[in-house]
């Protein structure tokens, strides 16, 4: 039961969002070698503390978000749009 401040919609219940996954992963290019894809898809840190993760505001603005959350306390440190262009626009506005 946590609250996520969506940069577009404002603070909302987590039930409006769907958890994505590890937000620190940079997916390789589609033609990257298999080793890169294996690492990106299967290798995961089990972070104790601050973790970057993706959430989808599926019941709201549908924006994919990058959320910095503390896995011990659920404290949310930052939220920004995953789409680089959107993030820049929203930051300019605020």
Partner 1 sequence: MTQTNRISGGLVDRSKTLNFTFNGKNLQGHPGDTLASALLANGQRMMGRSFKYHRPRGVLTAGSEEPNALVQLRAGAHQEPNTRATVAELFDGLAATSQNHRGSLETDLMEVTDLFSRFLSAGFYYKTFMWPKSFWEKVYEPIIRHSAGLGRLSGQEDPDIYDKGFLHCDLLVIGGGPAGLSAALTAGRSGARVILADEDFLFGGRLNAETFEVDAMPGSDWAERARAELTAMDNVRLMTRTTVYGAYDHGIYGALERMTDHLPTSSGKPRQILWRIYSKRAVLCAGATERPIAFGNNDRPGVMLAGAVRAYANRWAAAPGKRVAVFTNNDDGWRTASDLSRAGVTISAIIDSRDGEPRAQIPGATVAMGGRVMDTCGRKGIRSIKLVDGRTIDADCLAVSGGWNPNVHLTGHQRGRPAWREDLAAFVPGEDLPAGMAVAGAANGALTLAAALSEGRAASEKALNDLGISPNGGDMVKAEDEAADITAFWHVGESKARAWLDQQNDVTAKDVKLAHRESYRSVEHLKRYTTLGMATDQGKTANMLALAIMAECTGKTIPETGTTIFRPPYTPIAMGALAGRARGKDFRPYRLTPSHKWAEEQGAVFVTTGMWLRAQWFPRPDETHWRESVDREVAGTRGSVGVCDVTTLGKIDIQGRDAAEFLNKLYVNGFAKLAVGKVRYGLMLREDGMAMDDGTTARLGEHHFVMTTTTANAGPVFRHMEFCRQCLWPELDVNLISTTDGWAQFAVAGPNARKLLQKVVDPEHDITNEAFPFMACAELTICGGTKARLFRISFSGELAFEIAVPARYGDSLMRVLMAVGEEFDVVPYGTEALGVMRIEKGHAAGNELTGQTSAANLGMGRMVSKKKDCIGNTLSERPDLNRDDGLRLVGFKPVNRVETLTSGAHFIALGKSAVMDNDEGWMSSVTFSPELGHSIGIGFIKQGSERLGEVVRAVDLVRGKDIEVEIVSAHFIDPEGERLRV
The site for partner 1, by CB under 8 A, has a size of: 31
Q: Which one of residues 8, 9, 20, 52 is an interface residue with partner 1 (CB under 8 A)?
A: 20
Among 24, 39, 44, 75, binds partner 1 (CB under 8 A): 75
Closer residue to partner 1 in complex, CB, 75/91: 75
The β-bridge relationship of strands 64-70 and 76-81 is antiparallel
By CB under 8 A, is residue 38 in contact with partner 1? yes
Minimum CB–partner distance for residue 54 and partner 1 (Å): 7
Does 31 interact with partner 1 (rule: CB under 8 A)? yes
DSSP 44: -
Q: CA-to-CA distance for 25 and 76, rounded, in angstroms?
A: 19
- Using CA atoms, how far residue 7 sits from 17, 28, 54, in Å, is 13, 27, 14
What does the radius of gyration of the chain's CA atoms come to, in whole angstroms?
Answer: 14
Interface pick for partner 1 out of 22, 50, 52, 56 (rule CB under 8 A):
56
């Amino acid at each position: 039961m946590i609250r996520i401040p969506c940069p577009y919609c404002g603070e909302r219940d987590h039930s409006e969002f769907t958890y994505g996954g590890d937000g620190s992963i940079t997916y390789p290019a589609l033609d990257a070698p298999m080793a890169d894809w294996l690492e990106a898809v299967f290798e995961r840190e089990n972070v104790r503390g601050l973790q970057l993760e993706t959430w989808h505001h599926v019941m709201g603005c549908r924006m994919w978000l990058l959320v910095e959350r503390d896995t011990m306390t659920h404290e949310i440190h930052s939220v920004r749009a995953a789409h680089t262009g959107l993030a820049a626009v929203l930051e300019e506005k605020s």
